[in-house]
Structure 1
Amino acid sequence: MNLENYVIFKGTKDGVTVLFHDDAPFEVLCEQLDKKVQEAGKFFDNVKTSLAFKGRTFSDEEEQQLLRIITEHTTMEITFLKTENNELLHLTNLLEKEMSPHNLTKFHKGSLRNGQRIDFDGSVVIIGDVNPGAELKATGNIIVLGQLKGMAHAGCQGMSDAFIAAVYMAPVQLRIGDIITRFPDENKRGIKSPEYAFVQEGQIFVMALS
């Protein structure tokens, strides 16, 4: 394969997808990404878009480096970032995540309907769906063992390392700490597997749970 094809930018209806060759050394991918971003010039400047990394699995450190290359050369405003990472914990393991003594966890059995709201000082686990028009707000983490289609705000008092996880994630709005993002239309995303959202480099990342 031509070296130029190790990194490919592809425009979609949902934003921009960056395809990475699965066998190329990471250093080569960084060099190609840096070159292509610079060649794009001001094409990405002041663009508000979703960004997806696809084609191979990266470590957290590698993802940060790739994102840094993009943000160093553009003023792109990334509203949603999707990555592939097959080394994440299963959703059930997230339930065992160690909490600090003051971070209590509220378990709610049953789905939340339009107009219903849960606001809790601690983490929240919903055993059911969060339907459009329903709201979740927690100072800690949020886990939905069902469909998340309403609004969810984790770390609402500044806990930037909070996370949001759901068996099926298609929220109207997702917020972690002070960072807000809106998801693309669920019919366009086509993601059916459990996902996990967290803040990194000032952006909300969403990864598939393997």
Structure 2
Amino acid sequence: MNQENYVIFKGTKDGVTILFQQDAPFDVICEQLTQKVEEAGKFFDKVKTSLAFKGRVFSEEEEEQLLKIIAEKTNMDITFVKTENNELKQLSELLEKEMHPHNLTKFHKGSLRNGQKIEFDGSVVVIGDVNPGAEIKATGNIIVLGQLKGMAHAGCKGMTDAFVSAVYMAPVQLRIADIITRFPEENKRGPKPPEYAFVQNGQIFVMALS
């Protein structure tokens, strides 16, 4: 396959789809993606759209790297992300399902340290960790593509169908609308699958995304 076609952008009625060549080396994929988003320039400036990765399955680390390239090189307002990776696909499907038409999404690239705080009128996606002492407050949903060990408050203006999801869920405090829960110490240790938290019958439930 010609190197020019390792990464292909396609506009669809649902948003922007990026097609990746199945057998292309990942470093070449990154180079091609960087080149193409730079060449697109103003085309992506402040465009509100969904984003879909198609053609191959990437590891979590690879997907994070691709999203970082897009975040660094464009000012796209991405409403949600779909990928071929099952875990992240479930996260994005949840985001798509629960997203309200007026509900924008803020993407934060990098981890949040102790004392850092994000407040946003919409949903928040963090590409990194939320460390102890850090806080996220969103009127919509919260997705952490890393470890959630700080505080997370989704649906802060009363949206009880908001959810919180993380690759590793171990928050100091988790709140959805006006419902608060704390995670026991034993749940903060050891490996476990990605999880999401939601409200049902007035209580917060946490389920695995496996």
Mapped partners of 1:148, 1:192: distance in 2: 13
Q: Which has the higher contact order (CA 8 A, sep 6+)?
A: 1
* Contact map agreement 1:91 1:194 (CA 8 A) in 2: no
Write the mapping of 1:86-105 to structure 2, written as runs, cut at 5 A.
Answer: 90-97=90-97, 99-105=99-105
* Post-superposition CA distance 1:112-153 (Å, at most 9, x none): 000000000000000000000000000000000000000000
Gaps of 5+ in 2: 1-88
Mapped partners of 2:187, 2:121: distance in 1: 33
Mapped partners of 1:147, 1:168: distance in 2: 5
Amino-acid identity (%): 85
Mapped partners of 2:177, 2:188: distance in 1: 27
Write the mapping of 1:57-96 to structure 2, written as runs, cut at 5 A.
Answer: 90-96=90-96
Mapped partners of 1:187, 1:165: distance in 2: 15
| SS of residue matched to 1:96 | helix
TM-score (norm 1): 0.55
Deviation, 1:209, is 0.4
TM-score (norm 2): 0.55
Mapped partners of 1:203, 1:95: distance in 2: 20
- Size of the alignment, in residue pairs? 122
Partner of 1:207: 207
| SS of residue matched to 1:160 | coil
* Contact map agreement 2:170 2:187 (CA 8 A) in 1: no
Deviation, 1:93, is 2.8
Partner of 2:175: 175
**Structure showing the higher helix proportion among its residues:** 2
Partner of 1:118: 118
> What is the aligned-residue RMSD (CA, Å)?
1.7
Gaps of 5+ in 1: 1-88
Structure 2 residue identity aligned to 1:200: Q
